Structure 1
Amino acid sequence: MAKLHLVFGGKVADPRVLDFTDISKLDIVGIYPDYEQAEEAWRAAAQRTVDDAEMRYVVVHLHRLLEPGDPANP
């Protein structure tokens, strides 16, 4: 199975936690086939909003959600 990764972000109430203030306004950057491409997209998105302390972008390991009990799925 491909190790899919989702990159998205949005405004947060507190920059120390991932409590998005309005999930209807999340910026969905994309889904990537490996962590390296996802990290590159994450860095680009985060860099675009570097001056906005309330914006957070994250990489979600979709493959872990699809097969949570699979020991071959680190």
Structure 2
Amino acid sequence: MSAVADAETFGALVRAERKGQKLTQEQLAGLAGVGVRFLRELEAGKESCQLGRALQVAHTLGLVVSVNTRRELRL
């Protein structure tokens, strides 16, 4: 599991998974129903990317996004 604390880290994880699946940005954008520009900005860590669309891309790649409290992580 990778802890994500900022948009840059999330974007890097998306990029790494996309490349691991040997998908181009254009292919992933088409599969996820988002624009190539959005995907480029997401992978670059643009902080104003829409959360819903970012989650859509993650889901398309098979990434599971979960949120835990710091208290839960200490257990």
Whether these two folds match at TM > 0.5 is no
TM-score when normalising by structure 2:
0.29
TM-score when normalising by structure 1:
0.30
Which structure features the higher share of helix residues?
Answer: 2
User: Per chain length, whose mean CA-contact separation is higher, i.e. which structure has more relative contact order (CA < 8 Å, sep 6+)?
Assistant: 1
* Higher Rg of the two aligned structures: 1
